Amino acid sequence: MSFAVYLITDPAYDVIHATRAALSGAQPGEVAVMARDKKACAREHAALCRALLPICRDRGAPLIVNGRCDIARAVGADGVHLPEAGLETVEARALLGPEALIGASRHGPRRPSERGAPDLVTLSPVGAVINKSPPLGVHGFARHAASYGCDVYALGGVTVAQVPALVDAGARGVAVIRAVYASEDPAAALEKLVSAVRSTRR
């Protein structure tokens, strides 16, 4: 599945309400949702995933759990997104099965020692983000993205205006948080991102 937008939750927002609103106009296969709350305990994280799952299922959006294979398996999510210092892809696939979507966070080129290829990678930060490493920019993104043999999603301060250049630079789509969750109209914000990716892909 090659979706256009990878929507990443953030507990700073009303995630359930905003996700439901954002996905209200989305077509099946256009969006995937990563359930992420780094400060939540396992029980809280699982509860978030269970609340998001029917919303995602209703709109045909895969639900991917950040960092926790055990939670992904327990709630019946579609896959897991591995942090850079997390499990290897082959280990996650052994736990979740061959049909699971395996994502991975990366901040540079593919590591030669990496065991197994994820289905998708978020490559960040593209733009300036507080408390993150220096931005890659479009050229840096293009250079690193070319080293991966899977779908690469641009993450970190991405705006609609940047989408065409990033897709041309090798992005399969974009991964966003604030661009949708901080919007007064999450559905419209998401639709603009999806439309920009789809039109540029053609």
**Most confident residue range from 1-10, 11-20, 128-137:** 11-20
Length of the chain: 202
Is 154 among the domain residues? yes
For residue 129, the model assigns a pLDDT of: 73
Q: How far apart are CA 191 and CA 143, in angstroms?
A: 28
Q: How far apart are CA 28 and CA 108, in angstroms?
A: 31
Q: How far apart are CA 31 and CA 177, in angstroms?
A: 13
Handedness of CA 146, 148, 153, 157 (dihedral sign): negative
Higher pLDDT, 61 or 128: 61
Query: Contact 145/123 with Cβ under 8 angstroms?
Result: yes
The pTM score is: 0.96
Q: What pLDDT band is residue 132 in, cutting at 50, 70 and 90?
A: confident
Q: How far apart are CA 24 and CA 58, in angstroms?
A: 9
Is the confidence at residue 131, as pLDDT, over 90? no
Mean confidence (pLDDT) of the chain:
95
For residue 202, the model assigns a pLDDT of: 67
Is 194 among the domain residues? no
pLDDT digits (tens, 9 = 90+) for 55-90: 999 999 999 999 999 999 999 999 999 999 999 999
Mean pLDDT throughout 141-149? 95
Is 76 among the domain residues? yes
Q: Where in the sequence is the domain holding 149, given as residue range(s)? A: 5-185
For residue 165, the model assigns a pLDDT of: 97
Is 195 among the domain residues? no
How far is the first Cα of the chain from the last one, in angstroms, to the nearest whole number? Answer: 17
Is 82 among the domain residues? yes
- C-alpha count within 13 angstroms, C-beta hemisphere, residue 35: 31
Which residues make Cβ contacts (< 8 Å) with residue 97, sequence separation at least 6?
none
Is 192 among the domain residues? no
For the chain, the domain total comes to 1
CATH number, domain with residue 123:
3.20.20.70
Mean pLDDT throughout 16-21? 98
Q: What pLDDT band is residue 8 in, cutting at 50, 70 and 90?
A: very high
For residue 160, the model assigns a pLDDT of: 95
Is 201 among the domain residues? no
Mean pLDDT throughout 31-42? 97
Is 197 among the domain residues? no
Is the confidence at residue 150, as pLDDT, over 70? yes
Tell me which amino acid residue 68 is.
R
Angstrom distances, CA of residue 19 to CA of 61, 136, 156: 11, 28, 19
